[in-house]
Copies of this chain bind each other. A is one copy, B any other.
Amino acid sequence: MEQKRTELSQLGEFGLIERIKNNFSLQNPTSLKGIGDDAAVINAGTENLLVSTDMLLEGIHFDLSYMPLQHLGYKAVAVNVSDIAAMNGKPEQIVISLGLSNRFSLEAVDALYEGIKTACKNYGVDLVGGDTTSSPTGLVISITVMGRAAKDKTVLRGGAKANDIICVTGDLGAAFLGLQVLEREKEVFKSNPKMQPDLEKYEYLVGRQLKPEARMDIVHELAEKNIVPTSMIDVSDGLASELFHLGKNSNVGIKIFEDKIPIDSQTYDTAIEFKIDPTTTALNGGEDYELLFTINPTDFEKLKNHPDIHFIGHTHDNAKQNVMISKQGTVVPLQAQGWKHF
């Protein structure tokens, strides 16, 4: 009898997550929110405890030929902290599991932990535990972060109402193009090792790829202004994909304006150089780790002059309609690009 074999690629990441989610239910009263947001929510007395985990694998998430170990350590913490930021929470603890092959020296591990330590300091996080093991091949980094948020200030993906304003921080697409530049330079170097890479022109992009920051500054500023977003997510897979998550979880439609999407001039110029539409890098690029959130229109006054928050559109009550109004004024349906690892 032949056994059935279904490829994971037929489901994709989101399909697989959905399948797991549907197969598990929550039993403990302390489990307030399970799979399906940036972090799980656990009851911790007067506050909520937020928990999120991310695994980074060499050859999939990073390439040590251009990723210095110190930056990698920093980034591994930052991307986890970003998930807590996306819940409007404050990160407090991390545990780290490392799989190391014997090609890593103690000095290499020290460099990795230097980056981890710098990130812990910057984000006010304590390293409280972990597991260290040998790996048969590449480097594996798995981090779980724990954070806190007041019960009435914990922000999920599913709280947006129709006519909320859609906001995004910073600028988008740079990290993706930084990766393209690094990959190109790696190929150039392989064919001619004497060639010195000239990355100065792409400094911002490469920095965004190698050393992203979690936008905890925004979380603190929102608290100062007494604003609780109605929904929030961090931009790890690309703006379009994250907009779909907010829309689907909140049961609202999305309308954004192409000319409002924040794109840095270096991102714009380099996209053109790579013959990619700059808007596409912002919509589908990923790894920006900016915050995408919705606010009640009554909060707009308090944020409208913020130099680093951009108002790119609004939600509406037709949950099936997710569109972008192009620079030419045409209505373009938004495409959710999944993640394509498998």
The reply on A187 being an interface residue by CB < 8 A is no
The reply on A34 being an interface residue by CB < 8 A is yes
The reply on A92 being an interface residue by CB < 8 A is yes
Tell me which residues across on chain B come within 8 A of A40, comparing CB atoms: 93, 95, 128-129
On whether the beta carbons of A60 and B105 are closer than 8 Å, the reply is no
Residues of chain A at interface, number, CB under 8 A: 80
When chains A and B are docked, how far (Å) is the Cα of A33 from the Cα of B93? 11
When chains A and B are docked, how far (Å) is the Cα of A26 from the Cα of B120? 10
The reply on A102 being an interface residue by CB < 8 A is yes
The reply on A150 being an interface residue by CB < 8 A is no
Per-residue CB contact flags for chain A residues 1-16 toward chain B (1 = under 8 Å, else 0) read 0011111111101001
When chains A and B are docked, how far (Å) is the Cα of A129 from the Cα of B53? 8
Tell me which residues across on chain B come within 8 A of A97, comparing CB atoms: 53-55, 142
The reply on A106 being an interface residue by CB < 8 A is yes
Are A129 and B34 CB-contacts (below 8 A) given A53-B97, A117-B24? yes
* Interface residues of A, Cβ cutoff 8 Å to B: 3-11, 13, 16-17, 20, 23-24, 26-28, 30-31, 33-35, 39-40, 42, 44-47, 49, 51-55, 57-61, 92-93, 95-100, 102, 104-107, 109, 113, 117, 120, 124-138, 140, 142, 144, 146, 148, 341-342
Q: Closest B-chain residue to A142, C-beta based?
A: B142
Tell me which residues across on chain B come within 8 A of A55, comparing CB atoms: 97-99, 131, 133, 140, 142
When chains A and B are docked, how far (Å) is the Cα of A96 from the Cα of B27? 17
- CB within 8 A of A10: which of B106, B142, B341? B106
On whether the beta carbons of A57 and B136 are closer than 8 Å, the reply is yes
How close is A77's CB to chain B, nearest CB, in angstroms? 12
Could you pull out 16 A-B pairs where Cβ atoms are within 8 angstroms?
Answer: A6-B107, A24-B117, A24-B127, A27-B126, A28-B125, A30-B93, A31-B93, A34-B129, A45-B45, A51-B128, A53-B130, A55-B98, A57-B99, A57-B135, A60-B133, A60-B136
Q: Closest B-chain residue to A136, C-beta based?
A: B59
On whether the beta carbons of A6 and B105 are closer than 8 Å, the reply is yes
- CB within 8 A of A106: which of B11, B24, B27, B130? B11
How close is A34's CB to chain B, nearest CB, in angstroms? 4
Q: Closest B-chain residue to A39, C-beta based?
A: B129
On whether the beta carbons of A51 and B129 are closer than 8 Å, the reply is yes
